[in-house]
Amino acid sequence: MPRIIIQNLGNLIIDSEHPDRKVIEIIHENGTDWMHACGKKGRCTTCKMIVIEGIENLSPETDRELFYKNQNRLRSNERLCCQSQIIGGDLVIRVAEINKFPHLAYTE
């Protein structure tokens, strides 16, 4: 069972029985807010996650992610939650500073 750990949300652990789902869907189904200004369509970068561990456990980069990488809007350790699927194993991520919600208490 894949596990998502969100470091700067108090090491929040989300276990998923559905590894074929997009990361943002798994996070939202757990009741955790995660920004997505374009409605999960890959048209912005507000849902980006910083991958600390487990980038190899994600699906290959999509055309949208490569587009933003070519514009220097995504770094090599950043992926879009709305485009990435967990294909196996655990994932340790962080919310990017620019995409933090004011109503959530983040940790460092």
What domain count does the chain have?
1
Q: Which residues pair with 6 in a beta bridge?
A: 12, 93
- Higher-confidence residue: 88 or 29? 29
Provide the domain limits for residue 34.
Answer: 3-99
* pLDDT, averaged across the chain: 95
pTM equals 0.94
CATH number of domain containing 44: 3.10.20.30
Model pLDDT, residue 108 = 84
91 touches 61 (CB < 8 A): no
The Cα-based distances of 13 to 56, 59, 75 in angstroms read 19, 20, 24
Over residues 30-36, mean pLDDT: 96
- The answer to whether residue 36 is domain-embedded is yes
